[in-house]
Amino acid sequence: MQKTFRQPEIPSFIMLEKPLLEERRASEGGASASGGIDRDAPGDCRPWTIRRVVLQESKLLLVGCTVLLVRMPFSIAMPYLQARVLAKLAVKDAHEVWLTVKIMAVAGSVDAVLDFWCVYLFSLTKSRLVKSLRLALFDKLLRQEIGFFDVTSSGELSSRLTTDIATLANDMTWVFRFSIEAVARILGVGLTLFHTDWRLALVTCTSIPLIAAGNRVYGVWLRENAVKVQDSLAVANAVAQEVLSCFRVVYSFANERFESSRYRREVEKNFALNKRQAAIDGVYYMLVSTFLMNTVVRLLVIGYGAHLYFGSAMDFEKLSRFVFFVDMLQSWTNMLFDSFSNLVKSGGASAKVFEILNREGGRGGRGWGEGEGAEPMAAPGHVSFENVSFSYPARPGEAVLRGVTFQAEAGKTLAIIGRSGSGKSTIVNLIENFYQPDVGRVLLDGKSVAALGHEELHSAVAIVNQDTVLFSGSIYDNIVYGARNEAVRRGWRGKELMPRVVEAARVANIHDFISTLPGGYEEEVGERGVQLSGGQRQRIAIARAVLADPRVLLLDEATSSLDHESEKAVKEALDRVMDGKTVVVVAHRLSTIMNANSILVMRDGEIADQGPPERMQEWLKTAATDMEIVD
């Protein structure tokens, strides 16, 4: 049921015009509009692989490869022309020398211009891939179930989003820029070598089987190590993120030294892996690149070439041309080695990224993005649990709820009480469909919450926790957060939203405070709302819930985290918000319990008792301490 808001005067400092609908359209159309990766379009079940990612940009790559092929004759012409200049110098043919120099100048210039296009096209491909992969991964993370985040640290995930994708992309740049070019050039030079002298060309090829065997061994090892390197980096990042985001706790216990050594330990593990990789890289390049290619092949070519030259089976120009081409072949083979090792490393970096992208995700109910835009149904907000048993995915064997059955009647308040760990918050979590019961059903107005659309459920149910989470941004942004989907559905812009935001802030007892701030509703709250007091944060969170105008309000009542004044302001705000709604409150205050319509007593995951407060009055007095109930 939509609440009708009194339209207050809009304060003069508010000049907001936030086009939420356009914002959403931009975010949804972002990837396809830019021609990037299809971000797991519905119905697309193809697994994510490097091949799939690369194929997404096949058109750009094709253009890049065409430019490479066009460029190749100009690049390959250079050693050929150089050898010709040397030969003509030896016979003092000035006309031919200058003519060849002019041809070299033209060929070199065309080569340079085409080089620009190669670099540009392949770098562009890389940037598009990074952008699309980041978007796809982030969207995939948003589609995961809450249990996934219980067992995966946010630091690790941000490492996947940033470091892993950046490594993958950097390495891919090499691969695109050089491996395709290297293969094209090696083929071109190879053909030219055979055309120049097939015997010397065969000698040049003798090392190929050895190089192939070396690459295979190196590749297997490198891939394994690359996965370990990225994993150790993710662990180090997770530690850093945790410490930085909880820095006040670190500071207040003077644990900087401990945290420094904890981070150092993880960075050292990453360093040890990198060191091992550096040593193996060294051995590989020493044997394959420097010894085999640069020394053995060169000695064979010059030795056998000299033999042919002295036996008059080859002239000087041909021999010097051959030597120049072998030089070119060597530098491009080295390039190919680099590309190969980078490709293998990017395989390591991408392993976890693809693992997440290919993750099924056990989110119950319809996922994010499905059935959105639908008008929320007008229903009274009746919550019921039918024989619910549940254990958390992180601890599958441990039943936290057992056979829980109760009703929270529409428009009434149900207070849940019980000892710490008895399962009170778990009940709230299940109403939010954060997790699904192992047995039984959780119903909202007769429908299983798991069967309701994601937006539909969460526009009907709002939660206010003790542990208030605000986002960095303005107070306005944080309050509007409660009604973003509705604002989009109704096409509201800033001027339609502002009166609602102000009204919500008034209901939540925070408008007067906001009006005293220099920036008013546009005042920044800092990361996680650090620039506000606990009570102010809570009242902004209440305003956010008021704006969401839910049918069911879930409250986790604070015990003593606030001073008397703030607690009074928060309590008044809550009393106003609760009016006329179905409220399920994890209660710690006797007044809240006595004002509730019904009380549910939890003990070790089971319902110990339930009934109206009048019936339990006497019992409550004796059990207050045990149940952590305060006056």
Ligand X SMILES: Nc1ncnc2c1ncn2[C@@H]1O[C@H](COP(=O)(O)OP(=O)(O)OP(=O)(O)O)[C@@H](O)[C@H]1O
Residues that bind ligand X (CB under 6 A): 150, 392, 394-395, 400, 418, 420-426
Name the minimum Å distance from CB 483 to ligand X.
28
Give the Å distances, CA to CA, from 370 to 16, 226, 287, 357, 363. Answer: 30, 37, 56, 19, 13
Nearer to ligand X, 163 or 425 (CB): 425
Q: Residue 422 CB, nearest distance to ligand X (Å)?
A: 4
Interatomic CA distance for residues 336 and 573, integer angstroms: 67
Contact 452, 366 (CB under 8 A): yes
Between residues 426 and 459, which has the closer beta carbon with respect to ligand X?
Answer: 426
Read off the DSSP letter of residue 361.
-
3-state secondary structure of 416: strand
Characterize 284-293 residue by residue with b for buried, 16 or more Cβ atoms within 10 angstroms of its Cβ, and e for exposed.
Answer: bbeebbeebb
* Closest separation in Å from C-beta 578 to ligand X: 20
Residue closer to ligand X, measured from CB, 254 or 394: 394
Supply the minimum distance, in Å, between the C-beta of residue 146 and ligand X: 8
CB of 428 to ligand X, least distance (A): 8
| Alpha-carbon separation of residue 315 from 307, 312, 318 (angstroms) | 11, 7, 6
Taking a C-beta distance cutoff of 8 angstroms, is the pair 223, 348 a contact? Answer: yes
Of 162, 165, 156, 136, give the one whose Cα is nearest residue 346: 165
Contact between residue 48 and residue 88 where contact means Cβ atoms under 8 Å apart: no
Q: In the structure encoding, which two tokens stand for residue 281, read together?
A: 């890289």
CA distance 22 to 233: 38
Q: What are phi and psi of 63, to 5 degrees?
A: -65, -45
Nearer to ligand X, 532 or 574 (CB): 574
Give the span between the Cα atoms of 320 and 326, in whole angstroms. Answer: 10
Is residue 79 within a helix (H) or strand (E), and if so which, with residue range?
Answer: helix 58-90
Of residues 418 and 482, the one with the C-beta less far from ligand X:
418
Query: What is the smallest separation between the CB atom of 424 and ligand X, expressed in angstroms?
Result: 4
CB of residue 544 vs ligand X: minimum separation in angstroms? 22
Cβ burial, residue 627 (10 Å; 0-12/13-18/19+): buried
Please say which residue, 503 or 567, places its beta carbon nearer to ligand X: 567
Token duo for residue 84: 């010709």
311 CB neighbour count, 10 Å cutoff: 8
At 499, list the tokens: 């009166």
In the complex, the smallest distance separating the C-beta of residue 149 from ligand X, rounded to whole angstroms, is 9
Closest to ligand X by CB, 419 or 528: 419
Q: What is the DSSP letter of 628?
A: T
Q: What letter would DSSP give residue 566?
A: H
Closest approach of ligand X to the CB of residue 31, in Å: 32
User: Which residue number, 12 or 560, has a Cβ lying nearer to ligand X?
Assistant: 560
Residue 419 CB, shortest distance to ligand X, in Å, is: 7
Pick the closer one to ligand X by CB: 547 or 558. 558
Q: Look up residue 540 and give its two tokens.
A: 């902004």
Question: Strand, helix or coil at 304?
Answer: helix
Q: Least distance to ligand X from the beta carbon of 338, Å? A: 46
For the CA atoms of 136, 141, 145, 151, the dihedral, rounded to the nearest 10 degrees, stands at: 140
**Rounded distance between C-alpha atoms, residue 583 and residue 205, angstroms:** 79
Residue nearer to ligand X on the CB measure, 157 or 336: 157
Identify which of residues 150 and 527 has a Cβ nearer to ligand X in the complex: 150
With respect to ligand X, which residue has the nearer C-beta, 456 or 556? 556
Smallest gap from residue 408 Cβ to ligand X (A): 16
Strand-strand pairing, 413-418 and 582-586:
parallel
- Token digits for 411? 């428009």
As a whole number of angstroms, the distance between CA 221 and CA 402 comes to: 49
CB of 416 to ligand X, least distance (A): 8
**How many CB atoms within 10 Å of residue 496?**
11
Instruction: Kindly tell me which of 424 and 511 has the beta carbon lying closer to ligand X.
Output: 424
